[in-house]
Amino acid sequence: MVLKELQNIFHIELDAIYGKHEVDSFFYLCTEHYLNVPRIQLTLDPGLAITKPETDTFFKVLEDLKQQKPIQYILGETEFYGLPFKVNEHVLIPRPETEELVDLIIRTFTSSAVEKSIKILDIGTGSGCIAISLAKNLPNVEVYALDISKEALKVAKQNAELNKVDINFIEASILDNTCHSALDADSNFDVIVSNPPYVRNLEKQEIQPNVLDNEPHLALFVEDDNPLLFYKAITNFALKNLKPKGTLYFEINQYLGEETKALLTDTNFQKVELLKDLNGNDRMLKGIKI
């Protein structure tokens, strides 16, 4: 089938759901992913045709897109902080806000010209995007990444291989003492970072159906009456396991900035800062252990 015709079918079937521009982006992502054909080649060679099995693959993608399955899960990959990451339904699709958190950490530790090696722990690593992009971009780091989900850890391990970094993966929960027994008694970290579940059930109506129906609820949602559950557990863990002057970094729920900040200011953290993301929402929190 001629690719241009297929592109037309994508528009007829999907424009009403996604808009013309996004449908074009999906289509070009697919031509690159499945055919290794870059966008420019389609313009230069409008008669470009593909085989029957290739056409079948595109129709399968079309069906999935009609069901509002995220393109990242359909292709099984995405990009985060300029690096490739495999994703599936067991891990969240990495978000741009999280890239901002990673960037904050990288800028801090690159500019402070740390000579000695730093030890980092990422709690609730999911696809491994935070741990791996830190390991890739900071010299001299020893990175640990923890998750309760075996399936998520499988994906994260693949991503560490794909990006050629060494990460110490730990299967444990931050909510019970499996994480204490899984980590060394003297696990003194310079940095603890986490993007834990923080969306309250009451915010479900704000969440897009493609997120709600496809992404792992385990990684997203918390109960309305205890939305800071993970932040409390991680802060307590950090009080014991961060070195003096070690830094705790969180991605946070934009509606709970002050409450989350209070968790750190009310305990042994200083220089606590609440930072906004590019959309102007309270999204990042950092504090230094006294």
- The DSSP code for 252 is -
Rank residues 97 and 103 by Cβ distance to ligand GLN and give the closer one: 97
Rank residues 31 and 133 by Cβ distance to ligand GLN and give the closer one: 133
Name the phi and psi angles at 69, rounded to 5: -70, 135
Report the chain's C-alpha Rg in angstroms: 21
Rank residues 187 and 195 by Cβ distance to ligand GLN and give the closer one: 195
Across the strands, what pairs with 8?
A: none
Rank residues 7 and 133 by Cβ distance to ligand GLN and give the closer one: 133
Rank residues 93 and 138 by Cβ distance to ligand GLN and give the closer one: 93
Residue 204 Cβ, how far from ligand GLN at the closest point, in Å? 11
Burial of 34 (0-12, 13-18, 19+ CB in 10 A): middle
Residue 270 Cβ, how far from ligand GLN at the closest point, in Å? 25
Residue 27 Cβ, how far from ligand GLN at the closest point, in Å? 25
Q: Are 241 and 192 in contact (CB under 8 A)?
A: yes
Residue 68 Cβ, how far from ligand GLN at the closest point, in Å? 15
Question: Tokens 């699709």 map to which residue?
Answer: 93
- List interacting residues with ligand GLN (CB under 6 A): 95, 97, 195-199, 211, 220
- Angle between helix axes 52-66 and 3-18 (nearest 10 degrees) is 0
Rank residues 188 and 279 by Cβ distance to ligand GLN and give the closer one: 279
Residue 207 Cβ, how far from ligand GLN at the closest point, in Å? 6
Residue 203 Cβ, how far from ligand GLN at the closest point, in Å? 8
- The number of residues making up the chain comes to 290
Rank residues 62 and 121 by Cβ distance to ligand GLN and give the closer one: 121
CA gap 226, 193 in Å, rounded: 21
CA gap 232, 277 in Å, rounded: 22
Tell me the CA distances in angstroms from 78 to 1, 22, 225, one per residue in order: 27, 16, 34
Question: Tokens 């230094």 map to which residue?
Answer: 288
Residue 110 Cβ, how far from ligand GLN at the closest point, in Å? 25
